[in-house]
Structure 1
Amino acid sequence: MTSLEFTDQVQKISYSLKPVAMNLTRDADDAKDLVQETLLKAMLNKDKFKTGTNLKAWLYTIMRNTFINNYNKITKRNSNIDSTEYFQYFNTDENYITHNGASSDFVVTDINAAIAGLPADYRTPFMMYYIGYKYLEIAEKLQIPIGTVKNRIHIARKELKQALKTYAPGV
């Protein structure tokens, strides 16, 4: 595929990226930025695209990964990490302080209890992932295979979802 053909196909597909970006960011300006960054990365890495594969899926993957990376950067930048046994997460940004102490105390207490109720093998990788570590970093730090890390985080999420189902929307 020539550069001109690649550019033409990317341009045609680019219109379908905006609704997906809007769904991810929930903000029109951020969605435009995300689409623009996605298209820039696609153009810079067009040599990595394999002809005959799904270009639209490739672009969606770039967009999703870009969004996740940006989100993780923002989350890491705005958080302080206390490396106690449970890797408690504290955020000192005034925008995140809740003013309804009664109901939020119950929720936080229930969440902390649910996390504390997880077996240590699941709790540790889950909390590391929650505070911003990547799968590979967790695997290296805990000296376990990356597949095991992913599996333990998945199981921890499932158990937390079950333990906190009373807070699910519509319940």
Structure 2
Amino acid sequence: MTALEFSYVLQEMSKQLRPFAYRLTKDSEDANDLLQETVLKAYTNREKFSDGTNLKAWLYTIMKNTFITNYQRMVRRNTFIDTTDNLHFINSTDNLAENLAHSSFAMKDINEAIAKLEDAYKTPFLMHFRGFKYHEIAEKLNIPIGTVKNRIHIARKDLKGMLKSYASKY
């Protein structure tokens, strides 16, 4: 395959690579950078590509490896090393002590949110939370199993709405 043909095929394939780049980076600018870097690496290493093999898979592999390398480089760059005698990694989680204050606030908020649920939704939800199976809840409350599943689903949805401030924290 000539350089011109390879360039044309690479340009066509880049349209298919863009969604994968976005899934990896979760940011459109970073996805564009990753795509550009992948295309550049593929073009500069085009002699390593064997005709008759799967170009798409080759490009996806280049992109994935480039993303992993960039991520590892970023993590290393953000790791600070203390040069005192004991040589600790500042962002090391080996000896992490937490006072768990945030969890007591969260549990208080969760319990308050559960208390706000209507009894029709709260009872099946709490039974399921405590380990009861759907069919056991249905028998105990004398309601169809589909109703049990629906009420648990609605309770979860309502709780998720009431506790959305915790969505990105945990």
TM-score by length of 2: 0.49
Report the structure number with the largest CA radius of gyration.
2
TM-score by length of 1: 0.49
